[in-house]
Structure 1
Amino acid sequence: MSDDGRSPDDPLSRFLHADSGALLFVREVLSSALAVAFVGLLLFAIAGVWPPMVAVESGSMEPHMERGDLVFITEPDRFAPDAAYGDTGVVTYETGSETGYSTFGMAGSVVVYRPPGEGGPPIIHRARLHVEQGENWVDRANTDYLPANSCDRVPSCPAPYDGFITKGDANSQYDQVSGIAPVVKTEWVRGVARVRVPYLGYVRLVFSEAVLAQSNPPVGVVSGTDSAATTTTDAASDPTPTPVVGVR
């Protein structure tokens, strides 16, 4: 009899006590899968959003986030600071500069957002301003990131609706000026970045690029027009579900 009272020939006993062969391999695989599932469920319970981790695919947030970083995100209204705008859970760069709230090396929150119908991975950039419908937000913006000082010469000005003006820390213009995204509505924000772990995101990026290369053999050269450009696959079309998606 085994220590748990089962016969050594019992299938469960053989499975639990095998020290070699196929049963050991299956047991180790199942143990690893259960451990990953447990960690994923724990992170989801904390984050309130799935997936709770994103892998940075581009250099648009350098030097505060690098390509290959793994970033833990939460639902916007979780752990929201007092400086957040209304009930969005997001602190803009403008407000953060006034209140002293900063994340990832600069004032304000870094958000993960995706406009509806937009192809490619979600975007991870910093919220710079919150604007209201019809507002001439150029008067509050940093002119270094604008093509002109006049609202009628700047895209998305006046603001077509309430939302956020965003920008990658390494980019030379606001997302709404460069064509990366329109004014970001609150409901488009999928999460707020909380913790960055260097290099761990490379596992996901390498796998995605391998899948993309296999499914789409190269037929030419494609050049990007902004540092937010990405060469990896859209998380929505990734055939292997993972607790990590890529963001640009």
Structure 2
Amino acid sequence: MKSTKIFKLVVTIIIYVIAAFMAVSAVGTIVAKQPFLMTAIRSNSMYPQLERGDLVILNEFSSKDSLSTKDIIVFRVEEGNYIINDWMMHRITDGNARDGFITKGDANERTDQEDMGIPPIKPEWIAGKALVLRGKPLKIPLLGHLALYAEQSKNSQLLLPIIAVILAVIIAVGELKNTKKGKHAKTEKTESLDMQLIYFFSGLTIAVMVGASMLATSQHLNLSYGVSETEEAALMGSNVGVLKIGDEVDRPLAEFNNNGFFPLLVSITTDDEQISFSRDKLILKPGQYVETQMTVKALNPGDYNSSIRVGMFFPLLPLDWIHVLAQRSYWLALIVISLIPGLPLMLYPVLDKKMRKSTAKVIRQRIRRIKGELSRS
């Protein structure tokens, strides 16, 4: 019986660790705009080593790291007419960092360069390589299907409500199970932290999904320009260029289109006092399309590389409050709003008197048990 409880505890911990790892990976992928920690396999081109739906653990890679043949890398082609939006995971068969790498899927007869006509893969196009143990990539079978589904449904506003309903059903079933057990053994509920953990991680999951959705629709723009005391000039890579002190130019900033069924709140912020916006905050109603502009007024000479945050938020706080938070920090606004729907579930084990006492009792029992085992050893 004791070994069974230990086994269940270990399995539970593993599940929670994997869930947390996936959540961190999802948020990191959105922030970095490339696979982070792990990636989902989209096809069977690497069969039998990897199959569609596998979740592959990644080793961090930079352009300075060395690669060799047989390494499995995740990359995206970013050159001219050969731009491919999807990340691919194939094996290096030849090449080097200077001339580029030749890649091929294990199940394919020809290399990617022969089959798709893409150039050799440059190091800067590579996001990571598969973590390998005894010659085989580390992977979690099937779980990648969740990532693929979320990727396909990221623009669907039904995704979050569906997840919330699933979590609510899980909690309701757990509570019903504990209620039935309580009729026969009042101490049964105090012997496990399962329900407390379910509440906490359910709330955390909702918060992460809400934050990831808002982060995916928000934009981080960089504007490079210069201000001169004498003359105007063009600046490569800038639609503003070099302005003369006193000049003022208007440029398009962003277009917003709400295809959902509830309003979205938009907050546009920057630390550059020379940049202003036609609308720095707005409520985007369902079906509404809005264009915004920015104005750059040359006041102080110098070279500037300004950051502009275009934040898209769910209407969980008043727009003015969100804008104030975003002016302090976009990440502060994102975290606060993300926590709102998940916080009640995360705090419920603490707010509920019976569950709070139950949790405290179990923790004390665990501490005493650990102390006893340490003293015996």
Shorter chain as denominator, the TM-score bin is 0.3 to 0.5
Structure whose CA Rg is larger = 2
